[in-house]
Homo-oligomer: A and B are copies of this chain.
Amino acid sequence: MLTPEKISDLVSDAVASIPYPAEPARLYQPIAYTLESGGKRLRPMLAVATCSALGGEVSKVIDAATGIEVYHNFTLLHDDVMDRADLRRGQLTVHKRWDDNTAILSGDAMLTLATMMIAKAPAEVMPEVLDLFNKTAMEIYEGQQMDMDFENRNDVTVKEYMEMIRLKTSVLLGCACRTGAIIAGASQQTAQAFYDYGVNLGLAFQLRDDWLDTYGDPLVFGKQIGGDIINGKKTWLLINAMTELRQELCDILAEDLDDEERVSQVRAVYDRLKLDERCHSLIADYARRAVSALDAVKLDDDARQYFTSLAVKSIDRTH
């Protein structure tokens, strides 16, 4: 398998060299701005790594991998409009820097651009890769809709929440892995194993996001700790607390408290329920399931090491 550094470089170069027409500037500049703003590039790296680990030619997967990253950034762009978010990766969101219409239209163009890159997959597997991509996209919209529906509900169950993050976040990681496997010519069984790896890794990542927002180190996390509590966001932590200590939590949320006091009181409820440790242990559980999904797949040691280390990182990453 390619080294982790090589995979990372390949992906960075591919994203940086997407060609944009110059005009109309107002359509293409926000796309470049979004894609140049960084991010972990986790999805395209998963696609390239999977293809490489299975003996595929990475030159064949790079367009589809880049398309998945463009798609991911499109969802962030439109989500930021819907959530009225001002900042993303430390810079103004597109709808703040320009306006809502620019964000809507540039996002639409990114979705088509992503599809164009998916369509560059090798001809013999393109229909399968495209079909997976489109189905995954529909699941992601469903997840985003569920997330928005949760805002107006106080009876969201943990099971519903897990289904929401599976759709909104995790299936795209599964799609990235599976795309790499399909392009490498893997069997359906191997492709499914990598899909399961990606989905479980995605669940671990998203739960760690929830955890970090409450329990992260403010110096390392880079965002205000407690943002989710202040915004009343339905996270794994809040939903569990709502299930187990509803009245107490409702009392706190109804009180007229300043942000710091509210975060501290809600956190005290979390602590009484040991949600810190319980969330951490659930993350570790999903990370383990991710690694186990690859048990039956024949892989070189360095490849297995790569996928294992990503899963381990999801357990204790600090930002």
Q: Contact residues of A with B, CB < 8 Å?
A: 21, 23-24, 26-27, 78, 81-82, 100-101, 104-105, 107-109, 111-113, 115-116, 119, 123, 126-127, 130-131, 134-135, 137-138, 141-142, 144-146, 148-149
Contact = CB atoms under 8 A, between A and B. Distances in A.
A149 B141 CA distance: 30
A39 to B, nearest CB: 20
Given A112-B111, A131-B119, A146 B24 contact: yes
Task: Tell me the number of copies of this protein.
Answer: 2
A104 to B, nearest CB: 6
Nearest to A143: B24
Interface residues of A, dominant DSSP: helix
A126 B126 CA distance: 10
Contact of A134 (B81, B112, B123, B138): B112
A273 B112 CA distance: 42
Q: Which of A100, A109, A126 has the most CB of B within 10 A?
A: A109
Contacts of A101: 81-82, 148
Contacts of A113: 138
